[in-house]
Chain A
Amino acid sequence: MTGDVKLKEKDKEKEVVFEVKDLNLWYGNDHALKDINLAIKKNQVTAIIGPSGCGKSTFIKTLNRMIENIPSVKITGEINYQGKSIFDKSVRVEELRTRVGMVFQKPNPFPKSIFNNVVYGPRIHGIKDKQVLMEIAETSLRQAALWDEVKDRLNDNAYGLSGGQQQRLCIARCLAVQPDVILMDEPTSALDPIATYKIEELMESLKKDYTIAIVTHSMQQAARISDETAFFLMGELIEFDKTTEIFSNPKDQRTEDYITGRIG
């Protein structure tokens, strides 16, 4: 099944991680996602852009089924994760979310120490050895480019960190669970340009080991960091292509209007 998509995309070396087919989603009677078809490929950054309320956050939260925490949500269609439907009865959301991590719009560390924030995931998944936890904490914080700033105060409360540091802590916390995919829902929208720059740099280095899907408000950000870009408008996927294509040679008029700032 994934083979077809690979051929279609003419990109044989890239393996498909998420394959979305005819996805529709409703909040009560509000049709929020309409017939979405796209593929998220391994070890690259897929950006999802579009104006507010276009369904991009809804879409990314569907990939790890966090959207189901909202009671009125109804979903049809298919999402395959590594060839298997995530809506299958045998799939447990706990397992899916361990493999598919998420970083939120607003930094949301727990009111605990920096160390306890990072090792929260490994701990709940049964790793108790203090030595191992310490190593996980160091590795994850290094990957999130935060280690040097916090190594001397791992036992301080995470709320003492700046907004940008908190967001990198959340990324480290997400990495500590060793996911395959990281979903990012506007991770830099609450941050200043320098903190944003650090996180963008970080994504560049993370894509060697992880697959990243990022929702972003900023077209410049999508252009800077992503390999492929999906443009959503009013719940529809208007265009999905290589980022260079989308920004230099958009096929759809609406995409062009959006990226040139005429709408949105």
Chain B
Amino acid sequence: MLDHKMLKNKMLDKDRISRRIRLNSFIRSLFSFSTIFSLLVLGVLLYQVGVDSIGWLDLKFLTSNLSIFPEKAGIYGAIIGTVMMMLIVIPVTTILGVSTAIYLEEYAKKGKLQYFINVNISNLASVPSVIFGLLGLTVFGRLLNLGSSILAGGLTMSLLVLPIVVVSAQEAIRAVPGYLREASYAMGASKWTTIWKVVLPVAIPGILTGTILAMSRAIGETAPLVVLGIPTLIMKIPNSVMSDFTALPIQIYYWTLDSVLKPEYANLAAATIVVLLVILFVMNSTAVLIRNKFQQKF
């Protein structure tokens, strides 16, 4: 027999209750401190970058070519380089990524092989970008002899973000309720008709959100391009996919390195960081907007 009275007294013990309440407030302050701390560090960084870029970030900076003289230098070439690289990354990753996701989710037999492929794609998504840089250097740079061209850079970057696109597209496709597919099959629709007319229209917002986030990763990545051997100083504006090029993160990297030679380079790097952050901010906000606007209510 349980001693109910004893148990009841124990559970109503005033000291224990106040101890639990104290613990709760301690945990709360600890967690809010963590949040505030990260926000603070981010704020300091942004402030520092912002201050350093004052006076350097203007229209001339965006439209001038690269120069060894800090006063004349601009990031026009780097912007063009980034844009051209993305013109390769976007079609390559969306076409390959979404097709792979559709195959794995809708066509592939659910079994060991499909599970094995899925696990590996998720693993690939977390492989360090330097490794992808080395892969790109070996396959595209050396083997296919593309050197450090925009094409080599774009393909390397595509490899890097492809797993992210595949995984997010898979999740979007998986979130489409089965009863919608059933309704379509029950009217005699084939698998592809069902995918095209029912699954994709519902999954597109999710796919788009994941793809945009992957693209902003590709725009910000530096390591793979460094490994590919993008030259430090390029005066020419790239005019084809085979041209050598520089991109925004690369520019930030080299200018930061060179700031030991001329302190003004640090200001150029800061100004470029602001430009890159604005681009990323716009892209990520677009992704969030799309997600909110099209969020399905099932």
Contacts and interface: CB of A to CB of B under 8 A. Distances in A.
Contact of B188 (A71, A112, A121, A159): A121
A50 to B, nearest CB: 22
Contacts of A64: 186
A1 interface: no
B296 interface: yes
B255 to A, nearest CB: 49
Interface string B180-211: 10111111111001000110011000000000
B4 to A, nearest CB: 40
Given A108-B179, A110-B198, A111-B202, A120 B184 contact: yes
Contact of A121 (B187, B190, B296, B297): B187
A234 to B, nearest CB: 25
A235 interface: no
Contacts of B5: none
A174 B187 contact: yes
Contacts of B197: 120, 124
Nearest to B186: A102
Contacts of A49: none
Contact of B193 (A93, A124, A177): A124
B202 A101 contact: no
A110 B183 contact: yes
Nearest to B109: A71
A177 B202 CA distance: 23
A97 B110 contact: no
Contacts, number: 64
A170 B183 CA distance: 9
Given A124-B193, A124-B197, A108 B180 contact: yes
A13 interface: no
A107 B109 CA distance: 28
A88 interface: no
A97 B186 contact: yes
Interface residues of A, number: 29
B188 to A, nearest CB: 3
A101 B186 contact: yes
Contacts of A121: 187-189
A254 interface: no
A175 B17 CA distance: 65
Contacts of B186: 64, 66, 97, 101-102, 104, 174
B296 A97 contact: no
A106 B177 CA distance: 12
Q: Among B180, B189, B190, find the residue whose CB has the most chain A CB atoms closer than 10 A.
A: B189
Contact of B179 (A104, A124, A174): A104
A94 interface: yes
A173 interface: yes
A125 B185 contact: no
Contact of B190 (A69, A94, A104, A120): A94
Contact of B296 (A104, A111, A112): A111
A108 B187 contact: no
A108 B297 contact: no
Contacts of B109: 71
B187 A97 contact: yes
A97 B193 CA distance: 14
Interface string B232-243: 000000000000
B187 A101 contact: yes
Given A71-B110, A124-B197, A159-B297, A108 B183 contact: yes
A66 B187 contact: no
Interface of B: 109-110, 179-180, 182-190, 193, 197-198, 201-202, 296-297
Given A101-B186, A108-B183, A173-B187, 5 more contacts: A94-B189, A95-B188, A102-B186, A112-B201, A124-B189
Interface of A: 64, 66, 69, 71, 93-99, 101-102, 104, 106, 108-112, 120-121, 124-125, 159, 170, 173-174, 177
28 contacts: A66-B186, A71-B110, A93-B188, A96-B188, A97-B185, A97-B187, A101-B186, A104-B183, A106-B179, A108-B182, A108-B183, A109-B183, A110-B180, A110-B183, A110-B184, A111-B201, A111-B202, A112-B201, A120-B184, A120-B187, A121-B188, A124-B184, A124-B189, A124-B197, A125-B188, A170-B183, A174-B187, A177-B187
List 3 A-B pairs, minimum CB-CB distance, nearest first: A98-B188, A102-B186, A97-B188
